[in-house]
Amino acid sequence: MEIRDTTLSVLRPVGGDEELKSLRESIESGWWSKGPKVSALEKQFAEMVGAKYAVAVPSATHGQDLVIKAMNIKDCDIINPTISFITTAVVPLWNNCTTNIVDVRREDLNICPDDVKKNLKANTNALIAVNYSGVLAPIEEIRKFYDGFILEDCAHSCYTKGAGSRGDAAVWSFQAVKTMPCGDGGMITTNNKELYEKLIPMTWMGVTSTYSRVKNSYNGKPGYSWDYDIDILGYKCYMNDLSASIALEQMKKLPKNLEWRRHIQKRYNEELSGVVETPPFSETVQHYVIRVSDEHRDNLIDYLSDKKIHTSVHYKPLHKHKVVSGMNQRDYPIANHEWKRIISIPCHAGVTDDDIDYVVYWIKQYFAEQKKPWWSWILK
């Protein structure tokens, strides 16, 4: 097979005329900051995931931090899984907490309940559970022995049925390469009214939003209310209508895009079975993560790069990052072994069947060119 001229991205957003039209509407309306489209997105997203309340924010990272601050979780211990983006490890540090990083399960690289139980501390007041690659974390198992605050990280699971409903609050990501991208953005969802009412002013320096003050009028009269009071410490971290314009259109396309991602997953599973270790089923397929032996991983990444196939590794374990490595001096047998074997291969709404053929061909070709048979990794 001939090598393609352009690189096939491992992840990328796909948009079109609908997003451009929606964006133009916001530009022409004058609502460039938080306005009617943010309000519409919050309402529609809450309905989609089955939550009572939703608060749009600039990113899932902002969402995690705001929830921890709103719950007054500080000066304590927060548990999070080592296979995750760095956010889950540093948000505790921003709130003067220790970041208690635990190991993952081999089967799905989600947080390991046994390791959580083993590493619980007297001052463990919160736990961040990541739905890795869209597969739901075992929150129900953890609930059997831990009754503290659980923040469900749904950055990879928009939308997996049941996601966001099992913790005390959830955060979602609309970052550029997620399943519902808007450039960057996020959402907090919860059924806790008290938490929701604290979050709203916290996103805008303790002030209710300009849009809500226009919409709700002032002293019963239509128009802009200039008067407000600040009685809560707030931050500037709300979503704007330009981002919400894109997110609203992406939400309409989400069912079709997820159906296509599952098609990609099905084809990879069928055609790479026996060649590599394929991942467990995911409804969102945020990442399609194969596993090979550690002796092949980096070589295969380089080989595919030469064939214009972009890959990635999701993720280097958190306990290996210098910023937190000294805080968790313990063994991580599963993560330390498995992360050396994982490779994310192209999976997004822009991948075609021809692209799948191309990726499968070159992965098989790599193993065909090795002196050892392709199944040698199974024996390790």
User: Does residue 60 share a domain with residue 168?
Assistant: yes
Instruction: Check residue 213 and give its pLDDT.
Output: 55
Q: 335 and 193, same structural domain?
A: no
Q: Would you say residue 4 lies in a domain?
A: no
**CATH number, domain with residue 137:** 3.40.640.10
* 162/129 same-domain check: yes
Task: Tell me how many domains the chain contains.
Answer: 2
What integer pLDDT is reported at residue 378 of this predicted model?
Answer: 54
Q: Distances from the Cα of 238 to the Cαs of 8, 102, 205, 339, in angstroms? A: 34, 31, 10, 35
Q: Provide the pLDDT for residue 373.
A: 54
Q: Which of 247, 274, 297 is the last residue of a domain?
A: 247
- Cα(380)–Cα(363) distance, integer angstroms: 20
* Pair (271, 198) in one structural domain: no
Residue with the two structure tokens 């939400």: 251
Q: How far is CA 151 from CA 79, 141, 321, in A?
A: 10, 15, 22
Structural domain containing residue 68:
17-247
Element (H, E) at 188: strand 186-190
What pLDDT score does 344 carry? 98
| pTM for this model (two decimals) | 0.93
| b (16+ CB within 10 A) / e for 257-274 | bbebbeebbebbeebbee
**Same-domain check for residues 233 and 329:** no
Could you tell me if 223 and 286 lie in one domain? no
Return the number of other C-beta atoms located less than 10 Å from residue 375's C-beta.
Answer: 11
The CA distance from 159 to 255, in Å, is 9
- Element housing 51 (H / E): none
Give Cα 23 distance to the centre of its chain: 24
Gyration radius from the chain CA atoms: 22
Given this model, what pLDDT does residue 211 score?
56
Does residue 9 form part of some domain?
Answer: no
SS3 for 262-278, per residue?
Answer: HHHHHHHHHHHECCEEC
What is the pLDDT tens value at each position of the chain, 380 positions in all? Answer: 999 999 999 999 999 999 999 999 999 999 999 999 999 999 999 999 999 999 999 999 999 999 999 999 999 999 999 999 999 999 999 999 999 999 999 999 999 999 999 999 999 999 999 999 999 999 999 999 999 999 999 999 999 999 999 999 999 999 999 999 999 999 999 999 999 999 999 998 988 665 555 555 445 555 556 667 788 889 999 999 999 999 999 999 999 999 999 999 999 999 999 999 999 999 999 999 999 999 999 999 999 999 999 999 999 999 999 999 888 889 999 999 999 999 999 999 999 999 999 999 999 999 999 866 555 555 55
Please tell me the predicted confidence (pLDDT) of residue 230. Answer: 83
Of 247, 270, 297, which closes a domain? 247
Same domain membership, residue 42 and residue 60: yes
- In this predicted structure, what is the pLDDT of residue 210? 58
Q: What is the pLDDT of residue 327?
A: 87
The reply to whether 213 and 277 lie within a common domain is: no
| Residue 175 maps to a domain | yes
Which of residues 247, 267, 298 is at a domain's end?
247
Q: What is the pLDDT of residue 207?
A: 83
Beta bridge partners of residue 209, listed in sequence order: none
The H or E element that residue 19 is part of is helix 17-29
181 with 304, same domain: the answer is: no
Distance separating alpha carbons of residues 90 and 95, to the nearest angstrom: 9
Question: Does residue 5 form part of some domain?
Answer: no
